[in-house]
Structure 1
Amino acid sequence: MILKVISFLCITLATLTLFQSVNSLYFGDNVNLAENEKDFFIHPPQMITTEGGNVYVLWADKKNNIYFSLAQKNETKFSYPVILGDNATILTRVPQVAATEGGNVYVLWADKKNGSKGQQTELEFRWSKDAGETFKRKKLDTSPDVMLSSPQVAATEGGNVYVLWAEPYIHFREIIDDDKTYFGEKILLNRNINSSDAQLTATEGGNVYVLWMDRKYDLRDAIMFKKISKFLFD
């Protein structure tokens, strides 16, 4: 009888141990990616991951320098931070990042400049085809009179990249990033001058979904949705 009880207890403990090892979460060490003694980080950091284990991190300091760092293949050792944009006058929104399994990385932000002609805002775009090792750059839009805001970027494995922003109308742009990078024309999606908080998602099947806020003239807010399924380069 005693042997049966001992055997039962051993089997029970073994089962519990196996259950815990399968269903428990294992937490790695905290990793300090950036530390600034003199300046605060005034914008929340951004992060995106891929199924293959790549992690891409983006942040900006008080001087509006935009930093990028990556860890590859499920590692927790991050690369030395690279400055993608430096000394921006004002970042109108947190920089956005998108990535694909194939190693493409896309970064977007709106930079408000203090130019001779007043407050000029530029939509800055950076892209990489080697998992963030090197980046190319391009200005997607420039506005001398109004603030560009709500920049959004989405990407698919098929090489399509979609960009959205408010100017203050909602604008959309498609980018084909294959062997060469082709930039489509800027497309106007609405005609309400009080549009903001744009959101953007895309599917591998070719559908793009856009969401934004409209402030009506009678001060009512409306949530607007649009599906896009035919593109400039189709």
Structure 2
Amino acid sequence: MGNQVLLEVQGLTKTFGSRVAVDRLNIRIAEGDIYGFLGTNGSGKTTTIRMITGLIHPDAGEVRIGGFHLKSQFKSAISLVGAIVENPAFYGYLSAYDNLKLMANLYPSVTRKRVDEVLEIAGLSERAKDKVASFSLGMKQRLGIAGALLNQPKLIILDEPTNGLDPQGMKEIKELIVQLAAEQGISFLISSHLLHDVEQICNKAAVIRKGKLIAEGEVKQLLASGKETRTLEQFFFDITEGDGRL
């Protein structure tokens, strides 16, 4: 794994009225990390992701991506990021290729060749001309990752990437994530409630509860930190003290 810090979140805080959604959160992701971001519903995961991607502004704290301050150097910082927040949205009546071509218009430097490249990476070259309406949920998710790859990001943020997929779709998405991290050095921040998936592919993980970071580290070390080696699900339940299963 690369040692250079790619994403650094310091003191990130967001309140909605009297409710503190994210409370002085600190996380660091290095190049090539596959980083699981865990918490029960309402723990602050999605709010954090929205702040990291610039969709909402924090009340306090800062986000640096590749050394660039998100607030004062937004274009430079966000150019290093590809993201799928919630389900990827596509035009069903258009082909996979045409959907990506529309997305590519957002990035002046992205060429037609790059559209072909990301379809190949996602294993969709043979279905490039097919309408997205005919795609399975797993194929749509892979197309979403292809779209996130268009601008050659250093960090890809995925919100529940295997949610609703059948076992084969889950397997394909997990294999694609591991391949991209290993072969292209892309870092991933993966928000998920499927702890078994996170345990299989993530080298690091963080757990937040009520907006606060309560555990972070190498997955293997976290699971070995108790009296006996646990699964990630057991570890999560232990440290959240029964605060609602995922």
Q: With structure 2 as the length reference, what TM-score do the two structures score?
A: 0.24
- Specify which structure has the higher proportion of helix: 2
Question: RCO (CA 8 Å, sep 6+): is it higher in 1 or 2?
Answer: 2
TM-score calculated relative to the size of structure 1: 0.25
Larger Rg belongs to = 1
